Amino acid sequence: MQQLLHPTPLPPPRQPPAPVVIWNLIRRCNQTCKHCYAISADTDFANELSFTEVCRILDELKALRVPALILSGGEPLLRDDILAIAARAKALGIYTALSSNGTLINEDNIAAIAAIGFDYLGISIDGIGKTHDQFRRMAGAYDASMHAIRLCRDHGIKVGLRYTMTQDNFAELPQLLDLLDSEGIDKFYFSHLNYAGRGNKNRKDDVFFNTTREAMDLLFSRALTDLQAGKKSEFVTGNNDADGVYLLHWVKRHYPQQADHIHRYLQRWGGNSSGVNIANIDNLGHLHPDTMWWNYDLGSLRERRFADIWQDRRDPLMNGLKMQPRPVEGRCKSCIHLDICNGNTRVRAMQLTGNPWAEDPGCYLTDTEIGLHAT
Ligand code: SF4
């Protein structure tokens, strides 16, 4: 949106030295959300990484020049040593964020959390009031999480709302976006549900896909309005790289004179980067191409160094993820916007067909929008 209103020359291609690492340090959680990818529970899981092991891996990440670390769980604040781990990461000079459900942030620990200097703290909110409590299966969760957001804000921590959309909470998206203004929140992270739809034939009539398009339209217009009003709010979407292509079509409709410029920026962004610029470490120290690939183990950081596993292209999935273009099939292969989207979320293709290179069944764009025959 900034490029729409204040275009600047295209910077050189992005070539981060190492991936952003999302680290699920603990699987235990005090909530049992319907959409949890980590299948957490309020019980201790055996054999999780010790503080000493975490510190050794942190040193490896630093040596590799990992640019950012997102500490997550389960609920990361259930680890007694979470702040010590975060402090260590910060001392190594790594951008450090925390993803929490917020219910354990209170007056007793907010000063210690603020003292870490987290670069960002994301708190999950799935709806207003009871909607959120029902998603989280915890009475009072909404009030506790909102309290945490206010505490973070008042202690100078950059804080964001993390929202995962489903059919059951879509109606509350406008109200959630309003919270940015009314509560002085810096950022809104919109996560698509890992939804696979019913395949290509029904795309135009698929209720969920149409809901997704409405949600994107709402986010785009809110981001633009905020920017025009001089606000510094940030909007991020995740878990569906077709968003970039959808944005391009939105720009073509609303700002056709800027479409070529935005097109080049989206190509530079490059779409999905699981296994390339995104990595995930689970609570036991196993490495994965991203958080959605927990059933695909690249190797244990207790046995091999991060760099050795990450750069090892003998693994067929990692080899394919690192290929340019990726060896995608079906409509992704024929898509004229593959360079913007990069074939989207391979794990959805894997789950639905058993083939990680099949077309992404979660693509909500019509055939016309991806340059195939008219629908
Ligand atoms: S068809 Fe595939 S590559 Fe094209 S936008 Fe959809 S998911 Fe992305």
Coil, strand or helix at 293: helix
Nearest CA to ligand 1 atom 1: 332
Amino acid in position 41: A
Q: What is the layout of strands, in order, in the sheet containing 299-300?
A: 234-238, 187-192, 159-165, 120-124, 95-100, 68-72, 20-24, 278-281, 286-288, 299-300
Q: What percent of the chain has pLDDT over 90?
A: 86
Cβ(37)–Cβ(22) below 8 Å: no
Nearest CA to ligand 1 atom 6: 363
Provide the residue range defining the domain that includes 10: 2-324
Q: How far is the CA of 264 from the centre of ligand 1 (A)?
A: 17
Chain-centroid distance, C-alpha 279:
12
Residue 9 covered by a domain: yes
* CATH code for the domain in which residue 54 is found: 3.20.20.70
Amino acid in position 291: T
State the pLDDT at residue 375: 45
Q: Which two tokens stand for residue 213?
A: 């398009």
Is the pLDDT score of 305 beyond 80? Answer: yes
Helix and strand element counts for the chain (H, E) = 15, 10
State the pLDDT at residue 300: 98
User: How crowded is residue 302: how many other Cβ atoms within 10 Å of its Cβ?
Assistant: 13
Residue 341 covered by a domain: no
Residue 340 covered by a domain: no
Q: Does ligand 1 come within 6 angstroms of the Cβ of 177?
A: no
Q: Does ligand 1 come within 6 angstroms of the Cβ of 242?
A: yes
- Which of 98, 201, 216 shows the shortest CA–CA distance to 158? 98
φ, ψ of residue 343 in degrees (nearest 5): 80, 5
Beta strand spans in the chain (E): 20-24, 68-72, 95-100, 120-124, 159-165, 187-192, 234-238, 278-281, 286-288, 299-300
Is the pLDDT score of 150 beyond 50? Answer: yes
Q: Does ligand 1 come within 6 angstroms of the Cβ of 121?
A: no
Residue 369 covered by a domain: no
Residue 365 covered by a domain: no
The total number of structural domains in the chain stands at 1
Q: How far is the CA of 223 from the centre of ligand 1 (A)?
A: 24
CA atoms in the 13 A half-sphere facing the CB of 142: 14
pLDDT in tens, 156-167: 999 999 999 988
For the ranges 36-50, 91-105, 109-123, 306-320, the lowest mean pLDDT is seen at 36-50
Q: Does ligand 1 come within 6 angstroms of the Cβ of 365?
A: yes
Residue 353 covered by a domain: no
Residue 249 covered by a domain: yes
Residue 49 covered by a domain: yes
Global pTM?
0.94
